Structure 1
């Protein structure tokens, strides 16, 4: 190619991949192996000592996974990436590099219910403490900062509400506090929003959702923006202090603007072990090739469905940032001009019982706990994904008792609207 920077669709198909040098295979092969042969003893020693890059053991890295990592890093505009077994695994590995027992991180209240549960309960056993802030009140993030704060965590498009977060404003808070901003970009995908362009230092995804896109493979990924100075103030010893397991090297000094991705691999993935299967990496890579086509169709369908619901007498309200009347429409036009995503919620006048009833009457929409599939999906969060929260917390997270969440797929929009119409009528 010429020196011009490839476009998004080209990167989605080609980034990180080359024909297999041995067989000439054009599709990235599945390297279904646990381990790799060393050239000699010196080669093995240099790999284990982080003096050379290469493959050792699939728990730490694999050639199929490496293509996936390079591709997502290119799409997000990052310096490097690490693929792991799930989105939840990505969050654990990221925060393990940043937090010591007793440390805090600030998180937006509007998050996926599983993340709220993970942050509130599971992380307590590590001694990591979450402090909640309101993404609609940027000052609440400033008020939450303490000397123990080590990171800020938000979603670009919040799950389940579909609200748009003001990434740049919260990035300013993070910069002032001297901590990295972590953005879960799962619902937007880099096709709609690239958080690094707006001040994010770390991006995470559940690859299970829109990037994979077909509801067949679990995966997660961490993207290092290469923008944060990990040596400042001694806050992040995992990166700035000598590592005894690697003969005293300092990751920040040795690896520069991709030190965080290296730390996640050699200190997190190596020891915690949430490795991504090469087969799943292959499936997700295949999905990413059609990401631009799918995401635009998702967004176009979602807007049509939201407009239909907004005019239906059984619907109390629709929360979709793509609607001109929505409170997040200004932020959607700023951050996601190609579309406001495919996941949103609406409230039914019949309350909790109407929500439970609706999901049982839909025929084309599948009732299950996932988003980002080619198929349209529906769930009643208050009775499922957010059921562990009390009523007040459900409402704060956008999952009140009358709320239904849709993940709009790529079917014909007329068929989706007809299915909703018959279910609402019933």
Structure 2
């Protein structure tokens, strides 16, 4: 094409060409572990990163590579990798940046499992995290010390659906010379483009909206290619001789593709957080309808949130697309296509009423997932955020009297009717 393709074109065509061997139009599932080398010289060039190709499916696979190319194109990055889950993607994003004794400054508005991963699990690597309010640039900057290596946030924070000001966070990150990592799972590249607003790396749980049908788990890390990894001397894995790869200086040799190649040649090689080709195939098919689904998700979420806000049985609705939301102004600059379909609401009657509500719904599915075509609900305080203290739950937007909903693409009046009958039982 002579012009830059639009989003809807890219979501169907990026990373996909007819199979050269068979002419198959859809990306085949390359269900293989290894690939035959042409000769010894070809094998050596692949292992030395002198030539791009396939060696072993723990590193790269044609189906998985097609998915990585497609997400990279939609996010406006230069390169990307796919891995086994969203949590794996977060570790893969941090892995080339961190070392023992280093820390990441993270938003206090995060998914409960991510808070646990950053506050507890990464301690096993000798890393640590500091949690601050990303609406407070001064607090972000004050949390930085000589050992800080990155900032981390979610574009639309889970569970409350809070819209983060990515541009403001990127401004702080640029000022102190650190990369900004943005989890774009809840927004998807259709509703928000973090790289356009200054993010260095974008991570996804492809399990959610990108796949859209609740069938497989997966994750992705997309690199903007814009960060100077050699400037500060803080990122030796990328901009100094890498002992795990024959002393290669990835940034010196590969420039803007340094992060992506390091993630494959070292990260996937040694951590093995590999996406399987069938999962990649399901996600590729899901992305083909991403824009259509997100439009309906947003339309339904706005209708449901508006109805809930007016209902006397509800204390509070956190949907960022409501004019009453403190982050609503960001829908005019960053989230111009909508505030997503994830939010929470507080039920009068507290914890017990929330549990009764969840148990009384018929159309909604009570699951620990989001981003499905189906409407989903969960009570975070008793499930996804159960491991947090009540103070942490409140800070994360998962107070005991809150339920989280992921609004699907069913008929909106049916969604509202199901909530109505369940609320009647829960607050009787």
Q: TM bucket by the smaller chain?
A: over 0.9
Please tell me whether residue 225 in structure 1 is matched to residue 233 in structure 2: no
Query: Secondary structure at 2:320's aligned position in 1?
Result: coil
Query: Secondary structure at 1:20's aligned position in 2?
Result: coil
Partner of 1:242: 241
Q: Report the Cα distance in structure 1 between the residues aligned to 2:65 and 2:263, rounded to whole angstroms.
A: 14
Q: Which 5+ residue runs of structure 1 have no aligned equivalent? A: none
Query: Secondary structure at 2:96's aligned position in 1?
Result: helix
Q: How does 1:128-139 map to 2 (within 5 A)?
A: 128-139=127-138
Shift of 1:196: 0.1
Q: Report the Cα distance in structure 2 between the residues aligned to 1:45 and 1:4, rounded to whole angstroms.
A: 38
Q: Report the Cα distance in structure 2 between the residues aligned to 1:174 and 1:245, rounded to whole angstroms.
A: 28
Query: Secondary structure at 1:317's aligned position in 2?
Result: strand
Shift of 1:248: 2.4
Partner of 1:61: 60
Partner of 2:196: 197
Partner of 1:258: 257
Query: Secondary structure at 1:298's aligned position in 2?
Result: helix
Partner of 1:409: 408
Q: Report the Cα distance in structure 1 between the residues aligned to 2:116 and 2:248, rounded to whole angstroms.
A: 36
Shift of 1:184: 0.2
Q: Report the Cα distance in structure 2 between the residues aligned to 1:338 and 1:324, rounded to whole angstroms.
A: 15
Alpha-carbon displacement from aligned partner over 1:117-138 (angstroms, at most 9, x marks no partner): 1001110000101011112322
Q: Report the Cα distance in structure 2 between the residues aligned to 1:340 and 1:245, rounded to whole angstroms.
A: 42
Q: Report the Cα distance in structure 2 between the residues aligned to 1:45 and 1:411, rounded to whole angstroms.
A: 53
Contact 1:298/1:341 (CA < 8 Å) preserved in 2? yes
Alpha-carbon displacement from aligned partner over 1:340-383 (angstroms, at most 9, x marks no partner): 00000000111111111100001000001000000000000000
Partner of 2:364: 365
CA RMSD of aligned residues (A): 0.7
Alpha-carbon displacement from aligned partner over 1:81-134 (angstroms, at most 9, x marks no partner): 100000100111111110110001100000011100100111000010101111
Q: Report the Cα distance in structure 2 between the residues aligned to 1:92 and 1:320, rounded to whole angstroms.
A: 29
Query: Secondary structure at 2:195's aligned position in 1?
Result: helix
Please tell me whether residue 88 in structure 1 is matched to residue 68 in structure 2: no
Alpha-carbon displacement from aligned partner over 1:5-32 (angstroms, at most 9, x marks no partner): 0000000000011000010000000000
Contact 1:60/1:266 (CA < 8 Å) preserved in 2? yes
Q: Report the Cα distance in structure 2 between the residues aligned to 1:104 and 1:325, rounded to whole angstroms.
A: 35
Query: Secondary structure at 2:403's aligned position in 1?
Result: strand
Alpha-carbon displacement from aligned partner over 1:282-308 (angstroms, at most 9, x marks no partner): 000000000000000000000000011
Partner of 2:288: 289
Shift of 1:177: 1.1
Alpha-carbon displacement from aligned partner over 1:141-186 (angstroms, at most 9, x marks no partner): 0110111110000100000010000111111111111110000000
Partner of 1:151: 150
Alpha-carbon displacement from aligned partner over 1:17-61 (angstroms, at most 9, x marks no partner): 100001000000000000000000011111111111100000000
Contact 1:49/1:247 (CA < 8 Å) preserved in 2? no
Q: Report the Cα distance in structure 1 between the residues aligned to 2:218 and 2:155, rounded to whole angstroms.
A: 19
Contact 2:244/2:266 (CA < 8 Å) preserved in 1? no
Partner of 2:327: 328
- TM-score, scaled to structure 1: 0.99
- TM-score, scaled to structure 2: 0.98
Contact 2:245/2:266 (CA < 8 Å) preserved in 1? no
Q: How does 1:368-383 map to 2 (within 5 A)?
A: 368-383=367-382
Partner of 2:166: 167
Shift of 1:332: 2.1
Partner of 1:11: 10
Query: Secondary structure at 1:67's aligned position in 2?
Result: helix
Partner of 2:279: 280
Partner of 1:353: 352
Q: How does 1:114-133 map to 2 (within 5 A)?
A: 114-133=113-132
Contact 2:183/2:203 (CA < 8 Å) preserved in 1? yes
Length, aligned pairs only: 425
Please tell me whether residue 52 in structure 1 is matched to residue 48 in structure 2: no
Contact 1:50/1:246 (CA < 8 Å) preserved in 2? no
